[in-house]
Amino acid sequence: MPDAPEPTEQDPDDADEDALRAADGRVPGRRGRATRQRLLDQTAEMLGSSTFRDLKVVDIARAAGTSPATFYQYFPEVESAILVLAEEMAAEIPALCDLIYAGPWKGKGAYATSEALVQGLMDFWERNRAVLRVVDLATEEGDHRFRKIRARLLTPLTQALADSIRAQSGAAKPGDVDPMATAGVLVAMLANVAAHRYGFEFWGIRTDDTLRAMTRIVYSAMTGQKPPAA
């Protein structure tokens, strides 16, 4: 039997009620938010062990200890729940942008910044690998909702790197390379290597060596200088 509808409970501390609004337009109360979060957590967990196409509402609801009818109170379909997870994931990107803007991108500190950025993006991909896999697949299939999420992930990073390249007015970087082009190539490289990390390991490439190679490429592209010796 479906769970009984829960009364609406407004909480003045909620920063964004629209993000929590149920499919029927109501803003859920504390119990409802707990149920919604349980469904999201279960969706994320099952994405780690099931293919996106095999994920069914009935399985998510059962694993979360509730009913499909309750799932539909909050999400029209599985994709909508995954979109919420992707939105939450995108909220992590500003911290990486802050790292880029804070630098430094000159002197010895530039290598440490490059290293921190590479490690930060690899860690981000590892935490969100299951959701990112769906974002990439749905984007390739032309789903504009997931395409927007992917843009929210990659565009700010690209812009932050391009801005930082432009700020290196005194750096010995090539003058005929467009900052946005360089930044775009760097972000594409970082994202794709992070996504294929385990493929590298399968071929015997140690993760430490992959991180070092990426760091040196980022350093050279951002500063126009040869990376420091190991």
- Tens-digit pLDDT profile for residues 201-217: 888 889 889 999 999 99
CATH top-level class of 92-223: mainly alpha
What is the CATH number that goes with domain 17-77? 1.10.10.60
> Could you tell me where in the chain the CATH 1.10.357 domains are found?
92-223
Global pTM exceeds 0.75: yes
Question: Over the stretch 84-123, which tens digit does the pLDDT of each residue have?
Answer: 999 999 999 999 999 999 989 988 899 999 999 999 999 9
Lookup result for tokens 């994709």 = 79
Question: Over the stretch 26-84, which tens digit does the pLDDT of each residue have?
Answer: 555 678 789 999 999 999 999 988 887 888 999 999 999 999 999 999 999 999 999 99
pLDDT of 7 strictly over 50: no
DSSP 206-229: -HHHHHHHHHHHHHHHHHSSPPPP
Q: What is the pLDDT of residue 207?
A: 87
Are residues 113 and 96 in contact, defined by beta-carbon separation less than 8 angstroms? no
Contacts of 211 (CB under 8 A, 6+ apart): 115, 118, 119, 122
Please name which of 205, 196, 164 lies closest in space to residue 182, comparing C-alpha atoms.
164
> Could you tell me where in the chain the CATH 1.10.10.60 domains are found?
17-77
